[in-house]
């Protein structure tokens, strides 16, 4: 008895330590779970917040509905199995009115073209419409068996063809080109050897959807720098012309980057008079 008591006490102390240890581990697990949950939710909430804010700038009455249509394309899906058709409901939900004679397409001139269109209301790129603006510069994907939106560890542009971001841009580009009307402009890059590539989104999707029942002309603006590499005579442009729907007029003009800068700094001469 006399010897048993301290042993008992020792045992109960040990039990207490084990209890505290187990409790500590449980608390740690809960804390980690909460933090991970918050980070995941922040991902979803952050992307959604940006999306909705940008949507509202276009005076869209129900941006939540547009978000829901966007989200259903990829949430719960393998991020390499999102085809462009998955965004059909988004296209249907996003109110988009084509701006005839002002539509601007581009390939390999992203920065220059947006600098140019941002400074005046003369031309409208896809990224200036609600279709493209809501997701411009963002990355997102879902995961099988999850209802979350992830913004990290998503497949990149070339990792797999049917990834959520690439399929989105293909689908909205198709919608933008389907609506192309009147005189349409396209800015191509004269500083690379092949200004027109049939593999680009412009060559593989947009150009194929231009329709002469709505479109009058395609005006290529070849943006050149100090030492132009290619110009309007380049053979790749003959391929472009050959792919164009019969009945659409084709024009090409070389315009220096310096001239574009000058035009965007003088908004009153930007509308057409720059080339």
| Residues of the shown chain interacting with ligand NAG in the complex, contacts defined by CB under 6 A | 58-59, 101, 108-109, 111-112, 182-183, 189, 191-194, 211, 213, 216-217, 223, 229-231, 233-236, 245, 257
CB atoms within 10 A of CB 117: 21
Which one is catalytic: 55, 63, 154, 181? 181
* 160 has catalytic annotation: no
Cβ-Cβ contacts under 8 Å for 123 (sequence gap 6 or more): 102, 103, 104, 116, 117, 185
Nearer to ligand NAG, 82 or 126 (CB): 126
Q: Which of 229, 220, 216 is nearest to 180 (CA)?
A: 216
Look up residue 82 and give its two tokens: 């999102």
Residue 44 vs 120, nearer CB to ligand NAG: 120
| Residue 88 vs 216, nearer CB to ligand NAG | 216
Closer of 229 and 269 to ligand NAG (Cβ): 229
CB of 237 to ligand NAG, least distance (A): 8
For residues 144 and 26, give the distance between their C-alpha atoms in angstroms, rounded to a whole number. 28
Q: Which is nearer to ligand NAG, 82 or 221 (CB)?
A: 221
Q: How far is the CB of 109 from ligand NAG (least distance, A)?
A: 4
Distance CA 255, CA 272 (A): 12
Tell me how far, at minimum, the Cβ of 247 lies from ligand NAG, in Å. 9
Burial class (CB in 10 A: 0-12, 13-18, 19+), 221: buried
Closest contact distance (angstroms) between CB of 113 and ligand NAG is 7
Minimum distance from residue 196 beta carbon to ligand NAG (Å) = 7
Tell me which residue of 176, 159, 168 sits closest to 86, measured CA to CA: 168
Q: In this complex, which beta carbon is closest to ligand NAG, that of residue 138 or of residue 239?
A: 239
* Residue with smallest beta-carbon separation from ligand NAG: 236
- Using alpha carbons, list the distances in angstroms from residue 48 to 43, 45, 63, 265: 8, 5, 10, 34
122 is catalytic: no
Q: How far is the CB of 165 from ligand NAG (least distance, A)?
A: 20
Q: Where are the beta strands (DSSP E) in 104-248?
A: 104-107, 182-189, 215-224
Cβ atoms of 215 and 181 closer than 8 Å: yes
- Write down the catalytic residue from 100, 160, 232, 271: 100
Cα–Cα dist 160/44, whole Å: 22
* 127 neighbors 107 (Cβ within 8 angstroms): no
Active site residues: 100, 181
């Amino acid at each position: 008895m006399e010897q048993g008591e301290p042993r008992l006490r020792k045992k109960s102390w040990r039990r207490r330590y084990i209890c505290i240890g187990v409790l500590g581990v449980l608390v740690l697990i809960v804390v980690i779970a909460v933090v991970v949950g918050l980070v995941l939710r922040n991902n979803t909430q952050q992307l959604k917040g940006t999306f909705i804010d940008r949507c509202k700038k276009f005076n869209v009455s129900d941006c939540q509905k547009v978000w829901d249509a966007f989200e259903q394309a990829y949430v719960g899906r393998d991020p390499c199995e999102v085809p462009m058709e998955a965004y059909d409901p988004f296209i249907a939900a996003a109110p988009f009115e084509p701006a005839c004679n002002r539509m601007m397409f581009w390939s390999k001139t992203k920065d220059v073209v947006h600098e140019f269109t941002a400074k005046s209301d003369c031309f409208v790129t896809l990224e200036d419409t609600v279709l493209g603006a809501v997701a411009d510069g963002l990355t997102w994907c879902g995961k099988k068996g999850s209802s979350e939106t992830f913004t990290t560890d998503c497949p990149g542009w070339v990792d797999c063809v049917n990834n959520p971001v690439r399929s989105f841009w293909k689908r909205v580009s198709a919608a933008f080109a389907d609506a192309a009307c009147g005189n349409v402009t396209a800015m191509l890059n004269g500083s690379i050897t092949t200004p027109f590539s049939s593999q680009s989104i412009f060559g593989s999707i947009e150009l194929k959807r231009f329709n002469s029942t709505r479109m009058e002309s395609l005006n290529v603006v070849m943006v050149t720098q100090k030492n132009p590499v290619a110009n309007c005579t380049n053979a790749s442009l003959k391929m472009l012309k050959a792919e164009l729907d019969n009945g659409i007029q084709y024009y090409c003009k070389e315009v220096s980057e310096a001239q574009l800068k000058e035009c965007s700094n003088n908004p009153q001469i930007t509308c057409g008079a720059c080339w």
